[in-house]
C-alpha cells in the first residue's frame, strides 16, 4: 500500500517535525560532504514555502547517549542548511528535549526552520524509548520521515515518535523517491534485469543475492566478494580476501543461480598486487587463477568488456558495491568502467539505480551521478531493500 506524501498535507501554520538524515562527515567543525543535507531541501522548502514551521531532527555519528558532546553536535549542519536555504536556521539548545528547545519550538513563526540537537545524545533514541519519543512527538502537529539512510533502524524518532504523533504521519520527498525507485525496480523490473554486486564482503551481500536471483537474468560480481565465490569453485585466489566461513554459502548461491536460470558472472581476469597498498610495488594481471603472493584488487579488462556486453542489453540495472579498491586510482578502473557502462544504459532508456555507500561515492567521484536514474542516499537501507525487507519506520506512516 502506497504511503501518504508531505505533498498532500496542508502544513500552513502547523508544526511539522521532519526526521532528516544529517549524518554527514564533519572534521574540525567543517562538513566534508553535504549531500545528505541537500537531499532534504525539497521537503524542508515544501514545508516552509507553504507556511509551515519546520522542526528538524537527526542523529549524527554514534555517540553513546550520555548527553551533549561537541564532537557530534549538529550545529555545523544548522549553519550549512541556513546557507543552502538562504535564511537562518535556529539551533536553540544542546539538548533536543529540554525546556529551552521546547520553548523555541513553541515560539516559532510560520515559514521558520529550527534544527534540534543530535537525538543520539539521549539513550532513548537507540532504545526506541516511549518517554523520549513522547517529548519529541509533543513538538509535532505533523510528522515527516525524510531520513531514508535511517529507515532500516527502529530508533525512537523513526518508529515510536510517528506512533505517538496524533496528526498526519507522512513520507518526505526523499523517502518517497528512494522507495519509488528501489521498490518499483524490484517489484516490476523491466527485463533484462541485471544486478551488479561488489564490495568487501560476500556475507554482507548474501541475503540480497538470494532475494534477487529469482528476479533477474544476470548477476555480475566484482570486488573482494568475488574471490570467495572463485575459491568455492576451486580456483586459486592467491592472497585475495576470502571469507572462509562463507565458502559453503557461495557454493549454494552458485547452485541457486543455476536453478533460477540466472547467469552468475564472476571475474575471469584480475588486477593483482603483492601488497594491499595504494602504491603497491608489483601489479600484475592474471587470468582465472591467481598465484600465491598476489591478491586481487580490481577486475581486469576482459571482465570489464564482458560485463559491459551484459549491461548493454539490460533494461533495469541495480548496482551495489565497487568492483575493486576504487579509493586508489590504480584499482579504480574496473569500477569506473562498470559505472560508465551503466551510465550508457541510462542513456538508452534503462532504469539504473546505484545503492548508497561506496558505490554511490564512486559514481560521484567519477562525475557520473547525473547519468543514473537514481543514486540512493542510504547504504544500509538500500541494501536491506534489495534483501526484500520491510521497514517499520515506513509501515507506521499513513496510507495514501
Ligand atoms: P562495501 O562497503 O561492502 O560495499 O565494500 C566497499 C569496500 O570494498 C571498498 O572500501 C573497497 O575498497 C573494498 N574492496 C573492493 N574490492 C576489493 C578487493 N578486491 N580487495 C579488498 N577490498 C576491496
Residue 45's pLDDT is what?
98
Residue 377's pLDDT is what?
87
Residue 280's pLDDT is what?
72
How far, in Å, is the centroid of ligand 1 from the Cα of 65? 31
Q: What is the three-class DSSP state of 65? A: coil
Q: What positions carry a catalytic annotation?
A: 36, 201, 357, 380
Residue 379's pLDDT is what?
87
How far, in Å, is the centroid of ligand 1 from the Cα of 328? 11
* Structure letter (DSSP) for residue 139: T
pTM: 0.89
Residue 1's pLDDT is what?
63
Ordered structural domains, the chain, with CATH: 6-173 (3.40.50.1260), 181-386 (3.40.50.1260)
Mutate to test the pocket of ligand 1, among 200, 227, 280 (most ligand atoms within 8 A of CB): 200
How far, in Å, is the centroid of ligand 1 from the Cα of 324? 6
Q: What is the three-class DSSP state of 78? A: helix
What grid cell was written down for 161? 515518535
Query: Strand pairing of 374-375 and 316-320?
Result: unpaired
Q: What are phi and psi of 282, to 5 degrees?
A: -100, 115
Residue 185's pLDDT is what?
81
* Structure letter (DSSP) for residue 246: G
Say if residue 376 is preceded by a cis peptide, omega within 30 of 0. no
Sheet holding 351-354, edge to edge: 263-265, 218-221, 193-197, 316-320, 351-354, 374-375
Residuewise pLDDT in 10s, the chain (400 residues): 689 999 999 999 999 999 999 999 999 899 998 989 999 999 999 999 999 999 999 999 999 999 999 999 999 999 999 999 999 999 999 999 999 999 999 999 999 999 999 999 999 999 999 999 999 999 999 999 999 999 999 999 999 999 999 999 999 999 999 999 998 888 889 999 999 999 998 998 999 999 999 999 999 999 999 999 999 999 999 999 999 999 999 999 999 999 999 999 999 999 999 999 998 778 999 999 999 999 999 999 999 999 999 999 999 999 999 999 999 999 999 999 999 999 999 999 999 999 878 899 899 999 999 999 999 988 899 999 999 999 999 999 999 9
Residue 183's pLDDT is what?
87
Q: What is the three-class DSSP state of 283? A: strand
Mutate to test the pocket of ligand 1, among 358, 361, 379, 381 (most ligand atoms within 8 A of CB): 358
Residue 36's pLDDT is what?
92
Amino acid at each position: 500500500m502506497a504511503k501518504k506524501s508531505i505533498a498532500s498535507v496542508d502544513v500552513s501554520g502547523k508544526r511539522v517535525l521532519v526526521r532528516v538524515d544529517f549524518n554527514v562527515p564533519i572534521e574540525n567543525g567543517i562538513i566534508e560532504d553535504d549531500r545528505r543535507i541537500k537531499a532534504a531541501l525539497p521537503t524542508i522548502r515544501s514545508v516552509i514555502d507553504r507556511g509551515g514551521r519546520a522542526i528538524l531532527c537527526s542523529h549524527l555519528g554514534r555517540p553513546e547517549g550520555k548527553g551533549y558532546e561537541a564532537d557530534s553536535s549538529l550545529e555545523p549542519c544548522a549553519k550549512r542548511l541556513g546557507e543552502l536555504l538562504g535564511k537562518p536556521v535556529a539551533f536553540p539548545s544542546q539538548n533536543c528535549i529540554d525546556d529551552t528547545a521546547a520553548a523555541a519550538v513553541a515560539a516559532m513563526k510560520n515559514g521558520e526552520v529550527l534544527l534540534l540537537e543530535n537525538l543520539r545524545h539521549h539513550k532513548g533514541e537507540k532504545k526506541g524509548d516511549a518517554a523520549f519519543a513522547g517529548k519529541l512527538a509533543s513538538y509535532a502537529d505533523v510528522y515527516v520521515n525524510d531520513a531514508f539512510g535511517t529507515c532500516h533502524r527502529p530508533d525512537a524518532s523513526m518508529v515510536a515518535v510517528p506512533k505517538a504523533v496524533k496528526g498526519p504521519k507522512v513520507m518526505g520527498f526523499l523517502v518517497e523517491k528512494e522507495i519509488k525507485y528501489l521498490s518499483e525496480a524490484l517489484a516490476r523490473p523491466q527485463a533484462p534485469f541485471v544486478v551488479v554486486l561488489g564490495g568487501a564482503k560476500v556475507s554482507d551481500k548474501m541475503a540480497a543475492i538470494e532475494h534477487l536471483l529469482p528476479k533477474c537474468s544476470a548477476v555480475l560480481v566484482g570486488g573482494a566478494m568475488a574471490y570467495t565465490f572463485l575459491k568455492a569453485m576451486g580456483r586459486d585466489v592467491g592472497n585475495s580476501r576470502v571469507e572462509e566461513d562463507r565458502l559453503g554459502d557461495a557454493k549454494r548461491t552458485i547452485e541457486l543461480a543455476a536453478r533460477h536460470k540466472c547467469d552468475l558472472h564472476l571475474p575471469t581476469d584480475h588486477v593483482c598486487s603483492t601488497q594491499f597498498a595504494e602504491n603497491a610495488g608489483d601489479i600484475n594481471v592474471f587470468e582465472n587463477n591467481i598465484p600465491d603472493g598476489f591478491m586481487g584488487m580490481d577486475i581486469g579488462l576482459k571482465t570489464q568488456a564482458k560485463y559491459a556486453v551484459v549491461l548493454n542489453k539490460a533494461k533495469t540495472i541495480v548496482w551495489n558495491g565497487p568492483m575493486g579498491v576504487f579509493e586508489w586510482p590504480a584499482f579504480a578502473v574496473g569500477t569506473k568502467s562498470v559505472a560508465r557502462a551503466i551510465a550508457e544504459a541510462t542513456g538508452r532508456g534503462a532504469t539504473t539505480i546505484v545503492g548508497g555507500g561506496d558505490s554511490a561515492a564512486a559514481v560521484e567521484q567519477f562525475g557520473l551521478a547525473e547519468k543514473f536514474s537514481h543514486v540512493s542516499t542510504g547504504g544500509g537501507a538500500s541494501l536491506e531493500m534489495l534483501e526484500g525487507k520491510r521497514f517499520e519506520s515506513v509501515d507506521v506512516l499513513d496510507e495514501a
